[in-house]
Chains A and B, each alone.
Chain A
Amino acid sequence: MVVNSLNFLLFFIVVFIVYYLPFSRKNPRFQNTWLFLTSYFFYGFADWKMIPILLGATAVFYGIGWWLKKEMNQQNKAAASRITSLGVVIGVGVLLYFKYLNFFADSFADLLNAIGLNVSWTTLNIVLPIGVSFFTFKLISYVIEIHREHIEPCKNFIDFGTYIAFFPTILSGPIDRPNSFLPQLGGVRFFNYTLAVDGCRQILWGMFTKMCIADNIASITDTVWDTYSEQTGSTLLVVALLYYIQMYADFDGYSNMAIGVGKIFGFNITRNFNHPFLARNTAEYWRRWHMSLTSWITDYIFMPLNIAFREKGKLGIILACTINLIVIGLWHGANWTYGVFGLYHGLLFIPLVLLGSFGKNKKLKANSYGLPKLGDFVKMMGTFCLVSLGLVIFRASNIVDAFKYLLGIVSASTLSVPIISLGNTTLVFILLMIVVEWYQREKEHPLQFSGLFSKYRLLRWSVMYLLIAAIYLFQGNQSNFIYFNF
């Protein structure tokens, strides 16, 4: 069930009431057990046939965690490494099997056919378990963190199962690390008024961006993408830029809703976005976009590669970056477009590494008018365009379409007036979002009020009523969250 649906509301109310019953205060195991059961119910509602896979994988990794710890306690470093590798292989194997087997087989068959060896391969009817990209990553990080001695194996299977299947985040992330999440399962979570209110506001903002911005833009981008060969260059360009906004509004919206729900239950879930529109180069973009995924890949793929290549200086870094980004690309799905998308960003890193501006950026400072400095603004625009073009490759269903679309942008009609039927209200919402993103850039989400708004309840509530009215009156046609496909 989708987070912004009536079904979910009913489910949520039931889970909430039972979770905070007075009974739960005296029985510390109760809350986690309840979350475990309801998370599996939630997952089963999406696809009950995949419950054995989720449960099975959880059980296997629970066992591997303890086995690994045992070997480490006995100082068997070689055995410990082997067990960790086993865990990683099983996790990656599950992911590869469900997500990529058909893709590899089809690509391999195509390759053989191309060199004259005719093979026929019946595409297996492999159903993709929903959320597989997310929970396998949680499982793999669990084993690696034990090996790196950053955490202890989870004592209680229910706790571990709750971490893996936690319903707000199982379908589309954020990908929580065991280091930050497991300790939160330790004690009873008493109702935290401030956190819950913050969570509610975050959910509201998420619903607004998803329903009023992403869904409304989607109807335009979908139409233009279906007929891209007939559109003018300027239209294609504007739609490419709009798609970036749509994707952000959609995914950030969902992440905000998931994190907000988590807060209501007393959990601090890892952040997924940090205002990516404000990125001044693509390295900063990747530090602000889908942070739970990029930090996962940085910690478990980029850093080890970087360390292994450390003698090779800048060439080593470039190689590690490129591999890193191709993996990030391919994580999204079984299509060459995702690989090329990753490669595109890898190539964009090369000048940054060579110039040394790849590292952590200086904090964003406003000019005397409270606006971004001109230099920063130009860099933001440039980064915005580069990312949008990359998303064209991401969005296309195959490389040829991506290429044709990009060529279409640089055609004779690039300077003509774009034909976009974006409603005035949607445009206003987009501008509102951009302005709010800038002024609330230090905050986790824009509805963390400060100044006059934190002083006067009337102001705060007016803002929220306006958002609710906007959601009711101007929501776009319900479209599935983009990241449900991954």
Chain B
Amino acid sequence: MERKEIFSKLNEIFEDVLDLDETPELTDETSANDIEEWDSLSHIQLIVAIEKAFKIKFTSLEIMKWANVGEMVTSIQEKIK
């Protein structure tokens, strides 16, 4: 899957799970600090939603390594392969 495709799917998931007013424009550098509604609780909800949407399963270590959305997308890409 292309990174662009993953990003657009993530935008939808974020908008849905975080109950945002408008579609976020996620970039490689976006992190929890940039979105007010993204906290430790919604982080878990996001992960569950992402795993469901892409039909993948992450390990705990992989999840905890992510520092931003870019790294998240890279992980998703690797899992899909």
Contact = CB atoms under 8 A, between A and B. Distances in A.
Do A and B interact directly, with beta carbons closer than 8 Å? Answer: yes
Interface of A: 81, 147-150, 298, 302-304, 306-308, 310-311, 317, 353, 358-360, 362-363
B26 to A, nearest CB: 18
B61 interface: yes
- Max chain B CB contacts within 10 Å: which of A81, A147, A148, A359? A359
Contacts of B48: 310-311
B64 A304 contact: yes
B36 A360 contact: yes
B37 A310 contact: no
Contact of B63 (A150, A298, A307, A358): A307
Contacts of A304: 60, 64
B27 interface: no
Given A359-B37, A359-B41, A360-B36, A307 B67 contact: no
Interface string B11-27: 00000000000000000
Contacts of B39: 359-360
Nearest to B39: A360
Given A149-B65, A304-B60, A307-B60, A317 B44 contact: yes
Contact of B40 (A149, A150, A306, A362): A306
A376 B41 CA distance: 22
A360 B38 CA distance: 8
24 contacts: A81-B61, A147-B61, A148-B61, A150-B67, A298-B40, A303-B43, A303-B64, A304-B60, A304-B64, A306-B40, A306-B44, A307-B44, A307-B47, A310-B44, A310-B47, A310-B48, A311-B48, A317-B41, A317-B44, A359-B37, A359-B41, A360-B36, A360-B37, A362-B36
User: What does DSSP make chain A's interface, helix, strand, loop or mixed?
Assistant: helix
A306 B65 CA distance: 15
B8 interface: no
Across chains A and B, which 10 residue pairs bring their CB atoms closest together, nearest first? A360-B39, A359-B41, A359-B39, A307-B60, A148-B65, A306-B44, A310-B44, A310-B48, A307-B63, A148-B64
A148 B67 CA distance: 10
Contacts of B44: 306-307, 310, 317
Contacts of B43: 303
A362 B40 CA distance: 15
B30 interface: no
A302 B40 CA distance: 9
Contacts of B63: 307
B77 interface: no
A115 B47 CA distance: 47
Nearest to B36: A360
Nearest to A300: B64
B31 interface: no
A306 B37 CA distance: 18
A358 B40 CA distance: 10
Contacts of A148: 61, 64-65
B74 interface: no
A319 to B, nearest CB: 12
A279 to B, nearest CB: 15
A108 B65 CA distance: 39
B76 to A, nearest CB: 16
A311 B37 CA distance: 21
A308 B60 contact: yes
Contacts of A298: 40
- Max chain A CB contacts within 10 Å: which of B38, B42, B64? B64
Contacts of A362: 36
Contact of A358 (B38, B41, B47): B41
A353 B42 CA distance: 11
Given A303-B40, A360-B38, 7 more contacts: A150-B65, A303-B43, A307-B44, A310-B47, A317-B44, A359-B37, A363-B36
